[in-house]
Amino acid sequence: MSLEGPQDGRVTLLAIDDNPDNLIALKAVATDALPGCVVHTVSNGADGLEMARRKDPDVILLDIVMPGMDGFQVCAQLKADDELRTIPVVFLTALRTDRSSRIRALELGAEGFLSKPLDDQELIAQIRAMAKVKEANRGEQRERDHLAALVDQRTAELEEVLDGVIQVVAQTIDSRDPYTAGHQRRVARLAQAIAVEMDMSPEWVRGIQRAGMIHDVGKISVPAEILNRPGVLNDYEMDLIRAHPVTGRDILAGVRFRMPIAETVYQHHERLDGSGYPRGLSGDAIILEARILAVADVVEAMASHRPYRPALGLDAALDEIRANRGTLYDPLVVDACLRVLEREGEAFADW
């Protein structure tokens, strides 16, 4: 790297000053002392910001007192912009003793401060130093971008592995309960569509979909003969079934999901009026993810065949959530589910 800063020895300056004589003088000094130096000049802050975006200068020389947008406002916008914040800013002021201005400039992130009338040698030395700072800043930014890309790549790989594990768990549950094989996948699909309809963020949508895929993982502790029994279950057997959200929560509690998947699984049989299980939660004590999963679970379960009864059909399932909208089921979730199935009903007809 040369003394001037950039590796090719050329420095690009942007001077922002409402005094044209100052701009002429700055340009003359810089081009004379720095061979190949390119100087862009503008007379106001708004044009300065635009020029900075277009020319990507190595150093910005910025006057403080200007009509409209002053130098402090310009600096604040420069340092708030991810693309511009690495450009060093050197404030120029005629107030040699203005301590408060110097402090404010530094607080805004300015890298330098020169007083008018400018000393030519000091100006050139400052430009050279700041150009080197710009190169160092950009190098650090490239390194940060590279590390961020590696993190994103690794995160994507881990997310793919996590989805694979969730698929295996779901298939394991299905293999123990062939009558409801595919139930978790279908619930996950509908819950995901409901979450999208409710304009939830992609991360939350993905979390709800994952919770749906494994919401019955706790049934792994229930004997297969009970899961597959066509007749009515006794109280003891029903207690075993009703314990599956707790078992599911316990199984998932040690996994560090970014979303509350374990709690969603734990609460997916709770109801707004407190009549659900395992804790009898009501109202806002039930997290939104669980309220979404509850509606998707009920709709799929009623629409599909079960060992103890034939499929009741999608229409009956929708009648159920309409009739209990606001009582058992979250009204916003019910409305979103109805819109999804009204719009995409054929896609869910055979799940």
Q: Which residues of the chain have pLDDT under 50?
A: 1-5, 7-8
CB atoms within 10 A of CB 136: 14
> Could you give the residue range(s) of every CATH 3.40.50.2300 domain in the chain?
12-146
Q: Among the CATH numbers 3.40.50.300, 3.40.50.150, 3.40.50.2300, 3.30.450.20, which is that of 12-146?
A: 3.40.50.2300
pLDDT of 7: 47
All CATH 1.10.3210.10 domain ranges of the chain, comma separated, are: 177-349
Helix (H, G, I), strand (E, B) or coil at 113: strand
For residue 245, what pLDDT is reported?
Answer: 95
Q: What is the pLDDT of residue 5?
A: 44
Q: What integer pLDDT is reported at residue 175 of this predicted model?
A: 75
User: Can you tell me whether residue 107 is helix, strand or coil?
Assistant: helix
Note the pLDDT of residue 153: 86
The reported pLDDT for the residue numbered 179 is: 62
**Ramachandran area for residue 326 (φ above 0: left; ψ -120 to 50: alpha; else beta):** left
Q: Cα–Cα distance between 9 and 5 in angstroms, integer?
A: 6
What pLDDT score was predicted for residue 70?
92
pLDDT at 284: 94
Q: Which CATH number fits domain 177-349: 3.30.70.260, 1.10.357.10, 1.10.3210.10, 1.10.1040.10?
A: 1.10.3210.10
pLDDT at 308: 64
Sign of CA dihedral 159, 163, 164, 165: positive
What distance in Å separates the CA atoms of residue 101 and residue 139, rounded to the nearest whole number? Answer: 30
For 120, half-sphere exposure in the C-beta direction (CA atoms, 13 angstrom radius) is: 10
Phi and psi (nearest 5°) for 304? Answer: -115, 165
Name the β-bridge partners of 329.
325
